Structure 1
């Protein structure tokens, strides 16, 4: 009699738990979603994250709020993301450094892509060389000629060693047989933008979108984009391919959640962000800032990350980085 009663009680409790789980999944999100951007406010990753989140939350019963947690080449913010309760209410933004620089160097204990579940890739951005108006450089040809005439004198700002822009400048020096004065800046491209504005740098390497404000004001000028595809927004900036060289480098924006986040929550997030991505508002905004819309869903982006790491790590081995 007791056993029968116990079975009934356990069965009822189990059924209630399953029902509660199903209801929770159906009601997701039950509170505001925290989107961690692991760079300071003001950079390209921050702007893109805020824009798509503002649109995405319009189709949710709760808000999405952005929190900038910079440090350790994105590791500080992303470790906080992976340490959060895996219920879909905490999401992180991954960039090149998150996928390449940190795993390559194994530089931060506790950081691992294995602790994350990718949701989608939102954008991709080719690296570009932007020159300060104080430099007197007017074109790609001017830049290369000055570098050849003054080895080690042309000041080029990039993100720290191992980053995408740092890898780009190393490849450029080898490809073009030039020697730049490479200066690294921790944090987002905002630091390089300030250095271009003040004349501290002659040039910098990042995406055109990262420097959209300076380009619009005339304080900086794009002289080449490291790709083979002409930018539809910055049509006056030539591709490196058009200059006779085949080199394509750049960054991207990926959204990810903690590894054990339920598939239903990830699916809801993916669907919500894809709807925001598809809106004319987001697409038009990306075009205005010169960033390429480049969606990959949760399944596709995992394979893409694996392929990118394989190719990039091989290149780094070649350059001994």
Structure 2
């Protein structure tokens, strides 16, 4: 009798746990979701993250709020994300540096993609060269001609060593036999945009979307996109493939949660952001800023990252970076 009573209590307790866990999953999220953007406010990654989260929260019972935590080439914010409770209430934004620069250099103790549950890739953006109106340069050919005539004098702004734009600059110098004065800027592309406006830089490398504001104002002009596919928004900016060169680099936006986040929570986040991604509002907005919509769900992101790392690390070995 004692054992029968004990067994009954155990079954009831187990059932209660299952019901409680199911209820918790069904109620997710239980509070506003924190979306950590590891770059300062004002850059392309920040703008995209804010736009899609504003739409995605319409699919959820709670809001999504963005918190900018910059530093250590995205590691500061993302380590805070991976250190959060793995309940789906904290999400982080990964860019090129999060996937390539940091793992390659192993520069920040405690940072690892293994500490993350990947949710989805939202966009991909080719790098491009944008010139300041102060230079009077109108075309890619004029930029290269000036660089050849003035070795080491054309000031080209890029993200820190090891970043995608930095790699692009190194490849361009080798490919075209030119010598730029390469100047690195920590933080988001907004710093480079300000330097282009002030005349501190002659040119800079990042996506056209990152520089959309100063391009639209006429303070800067895109002269080449490092891609083989013509940008549907900036149709006046030629691809480097059209100039007879094969060079493709760029960045992307990936969403991730802490490792061990429940599958149900990851699925809810993925479906909410996919619904936002599919809206006409988000697609139209991306086109307006010149960013390519490029969704890849949780079932394919990890394999894509593995392939990208293998290709990029091999290139870095060739350039001895």
TM-score w.r.t. the length of structure 2 is 0.99
Counterpart of 1:259 in structure 2 is: 259
Matched residue count: 321
- Listed one character per residue, the Cα deviations across residues 99-153 of structure 1 (whole Å, up to 9, x for unaligned) are 0000000000000000001100000000000000111211101100000000000
CA RMSD of superposed structures (Å): 0.7
Counterpart of 2:21 in structure 1 is: 21
Alignment of 1:122-271 (within 5 A): 122-271=122-271
Alignment of 1:65-144 (within 5 A): 65-144=65-144
- Listed one character per residue, the Cα deviations across residues 58-79 of structure 1 (whole Å, up to 9, x for unaligned) are 1111000000000000000000
SS across alignment from 1:237:
coil
Shift of 1:18: 1.1
Counterpart of 1:58 in structure 2 is: 58
- Listed one character per residue, the Cα deviations across residues 86-110 of structure 1 (whole Å, up to 9, x for unaligned) are 0111000000000000000000000
- State whether structure 2 residue 277 is matched by structure 1 residue 283: no
Shift of 1:5: 3.0
Shift of 1:10: 2.5
- Listed one character per residue, the Cα deviations across residues 150-172 of structure 1 (whole Å, up to 9, x for unaligned) are 00000000000000100110011
Shift of 1:297: 0.4
Q: Work out the CA distance in 1 between the residues paired with 2:132 and 2:215.
A: 10
Shift of 1:4: 3.3
Q: Work out the CA distance in 2 between the residues paired with 1:10 and 1:169.
A: 65
Shift of 1:234: 0.3
Shift of 1:15: 1.3
- State whether structure 2 residue 312 is matched by structure 1 residue 312: yes
Shift of 1:30: 1.1
Q: Work out the CA distance in 1 between the residues paired with 2:6 and 2:96.
A: 55
Shift of 1:6: 2.8
Shift of 1:17: 1.0
SS across alignment from 2:210:
helix
Q: Which runs of 5+ in 1 are unaligned?
A: none
Q: Work out the CA distance in 2 between the residues paired with 1:12 and 1:35.
A: 38
Alignment of 1:39-50 (within 5 A): 39-50=39-50
- Listed one character per residue, the Cα deviations across residues 255-285 of structure 1 (whole Å, up to 9, x for unaligned) are 0011100111111111110010000000000
Q: Which runs of 5+ in 2 are unaligned?
A: none
Q: Work out the CA distance in 2 between the residues paired with 1:316 and 1:14.
A: 54
- Listed one character per residue, the Cα deviations across residues 18-42 of structure 1 (whole Å, up to 9, x for unaligned) are 1100111111111111000000000
